Amino acid sequence: MRLATCQTGKTFILYDPDSLSDAGEAPQIDPSLFEPDHWRRTGTIVGQAPGRGASLFLEVPGEHWVLRPYRRGGLVARLSTKRYLWTGLERTRGFREMHLTAELFDGGLPVPRPVAAGVTRHGATYEAALITVRIPTAHALAERLPHDADDALLETLGRTIRRFHDAGLDHVDLNARNLLIDARDKVWLIDLDRCRWRSPGPWQRANLERLARSVEKFGAPDAMQAIRRGYDSAGD
């Protein structure tokens, strides 16, 4: 996947030209792509995901997208829910996640195809948002727990996580909402904000422990047994 960068005013956009081109014409790039109000005016919002960032599901010609604004949580959100400290364009959360998702996508790992990341600078701070292709028919693992996720599916999920770990991806927020399952029971990993490449180490166990706390929260504490079986079998 080739990525390109452009700037319009205070907004920097990192994008996939093939995703934003129309019948071979020049890509249509505009900061309004990252503004929820723009999509509300055009009537193309078809849904919304739960969570702090209030991701929007968009219907565009030929496919569906997900617009996810970056939002802060915790105590720092009392100061600002959407502003981050500017330390350089390539270090912004939007550009970092766009690059990482493109690398995983090119490597054949099951992540949504990235479309564009937008970063708007405000002096010493910035705001950002990311657009990816929405995975059709997919639902979060959280929606399948505790009664609609059998051992076969959970083992598949474990094997998929192992693929990412073997590739070196540390998913710092591995939970039951960031694992999607489509109609064919294929598992997808989403929300790669703050994730990074790492050599093997204790972070792999920490990822699984975080997932264990999450599935327990959704009423399926025994699910990790099957997930770990799948995870361990993928290394045989």
Write out pLDDT tens, residues 86-138. Answer: 999 999 999 999 999 999 999 999 999 999 999 999 999 999 999 999 998 99
Q: Mean pLDDT throughout 139-149?
A: 94
Residue 27 has pLDDT above 60, yes or no: no
- Long-range (24+ apart) CB contacts under 8 A made by 183-189 are 183/136, 183/137, 183/138, 185/152, 185/153, 185/156, 186/110, 187/110, 187/156, 187/157, 187/160, 188/110, 188/111, 188/112, 188/135, 188/138, 189/109, 189/110, 189/111, 189/160, 189/161, 189/164
185 within 8 A of 156, measured Cβ to Cβ? yes
- Residues marked as catalytic: 173
Structure tokens at 35: 């503004």
Contact 1, 106 (CB under 8 A): yes
User: Is the pLDDT score of 232 beyond 80?
Assistant: yes
Residues 69 and 15: their CA atoms lie apart, in Å, by 16
pLDDT for 19 equals: 86
- Indicate if the pLDDT at residue 199 is higher than 50: yes
pLDDT number for residue 61: 86
Quick one: pLDDT band at residue 144, thresholds 50, 70, 90? very high
Mean pLDDT of 20-31: 64
3-state secondary structure the chain: CCCEEEEECCEEEEECHHHHCCCCCCCCCCHHHHCHHHHHHHCCEEEECCCCCCCEEEEECCEEEEEEECCCCCHHHHCCCCCEECCCHHHCHHHHHHHHHHHHHHCCCCCCCEEEEEEEEECCEEEEEEEEECCCCCEEHHHHCCCCCCHHHHHHHHHHHHHHHHHCEECCCCCCCCEEECCCCCEEECCCCCCEECCCCCHHHHHHHHHHHHHHHCCCCCHHHHHHHHHHHCCC
Higher pLDDT, 28 or 154: 154
Rounded CA gap, 78 and 66, in Å?
26
Give domain 139-233's CATH architecture: Orthogonal Bundle (1.10)
Contact 6, 31 (CB under 8 A): no
Over residues 47-89, the pLDDT tens digits come to: 988 765 579 999 998 889 999 999 986 555 456 689 999 999 9
Domain parsing of the chain, residue ranges: 4-133, 139-233
Q: Give pLDDT, residue 205.
A: 97
**Tokens representing residue 171 in the block:** 């998913």
pTM: 0.92
Task: Kindly indicate the confidence band of residue 167, based on its pLDDT and cuts at 50, 70 and 90.
Answer: very high
